[in-house]
């Protein structure tokens, strides 16, 4: 049996930690989407020099763990520079850079899926390269990318559990602290599961709804 009295007592602290985790996740995902969109367009247009830099960025962050990035930003950076980052800033930067790399690949796949006839039609009516991207290519690419973008967003939210490595005030760190102090393992694990499900399950339903709404974005459907 779970100790509901104990859960009620720690609920305000857990709620505060939950909203902090949610805030970092939401801001990080938005930044990652923006970063991914910009980087994918650079790759799509094959911009000299910048394409190589983007490829290096994507390869590095997709193939190294978030834990490594957090350790470097929080513990390593102050040792080699005068820069001292707070927990929230470290978590946000780490999550955004990791997410940006994954979002880049998602957008890139969507851009590649746009039929060449769409681009030819845009050129035929005299649209500039910027107008082609803004009005024709990117909207369709976004519709193709919705499933993977959503999956990446869920992945990033779950990655917040790693923030405990830098001893912050996110919900996982707070829950582990209560486990260590009061040995209420089952209660804290239950609350952690509930916290993640409260966010992820509605998001999955929203994602499915959006996917159905944008599924027929391709010309002619």
Q: Give, for all 221 residues of the chain, the pLDDT tens digit.
A: 888 999 999 999 999 999 999 999 999 999 999 999 999 999 998 999 999 999 999 999 999 999 999 999 999 999 999 999 999 999 999 999 999 999 999 999 999 888 888 888 888 888 888 888 888 888 888 888 999 999 999 999 999 999 888 878 889 999 999 999 999 899 999 999 999 999 999 999 998 888 877 765 554 44
Q: According to the model, what pLDDT value does residue 156 have?
A: 95
Helices (H), 63-184: 66-71, 77-80, 87-113, 116-124, 129-131, 138-159, 171-182
Q: Which residues contact 161 (CB under 8 A, 6 or more apart)?
A: 170, 172
Specify whether the backbone of 46 is left (phi greater than 0), alpha (psi in -120 to 50) or beta: left
Q: According to the model, what pLDDT value does residue 214 have?
A: 74
Name the DSSP class of 137. I
Q: According to the model, what pLDDT value does residue 114 have?
A: 87
What is the SS3 assignment for 208? helix
Q: What is the architecture, at CATH level 2, of domain 11-214?
A: Orthogonal Bundle (1.10)
CB 32 within 8 A of CB 156: yes
CB 85 within 8 A of CB 74: yes
Q: According to the model, what pLDDT value does residue 138 have?
A: 87
**Using alpha carbons only, what angle is made at residue 75 by residues 32 and 183, rounded to the nearest 5 degrees?**
90
Distance CA 116, CA 109 (A): 14
Q: What is the pTM of this model?
A: 0.90
């Amino acid at each position: 049996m779970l100790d509901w009295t104990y859960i009620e007592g720690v609920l305000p602290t857990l709620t505060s930690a939950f909203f902090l985790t949610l805030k970092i996740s939401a801001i990080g995902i938005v930044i990652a989407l923006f970063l991914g969109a910009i980087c994918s367009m650079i790759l799509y247009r094959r911009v000299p020099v910048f394409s190589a830099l983007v490829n290096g960025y994507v390869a590095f962050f997709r193939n190294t763990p978030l834990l490594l990035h957090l350790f470097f930003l929080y513990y390593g950076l102050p040792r080699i520079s005068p820069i001292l980052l707070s927990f929230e800033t470290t978590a946000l930067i780490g999550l955004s850079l990791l997410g940006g790399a994954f979002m880049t690949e998602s957008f890139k796949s969507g851009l590649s899926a746009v039929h060449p006839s769409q681009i030819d039609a845009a050129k035929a009516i005299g649209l500039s390269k910027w107008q082609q991207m803004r009005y024709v290519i990117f909207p369709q690419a976004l519709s193709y990318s919705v499933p993977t973008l959503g999956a990446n967003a869920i992945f990033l939210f779950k990655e917040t559990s790693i923030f405990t490595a830098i001893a912050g005030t996110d919900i996982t760190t707070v829950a582990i602290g209560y486990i260590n102090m009061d040995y209420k393992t089952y209660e804290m694990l239950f609350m952690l599961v509930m916290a993640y499900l409260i966010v992820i399950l509605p998001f999955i339903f929203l994602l499915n709804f959006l996917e159905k709404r944008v599924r027929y974005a391709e010309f002619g459907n």
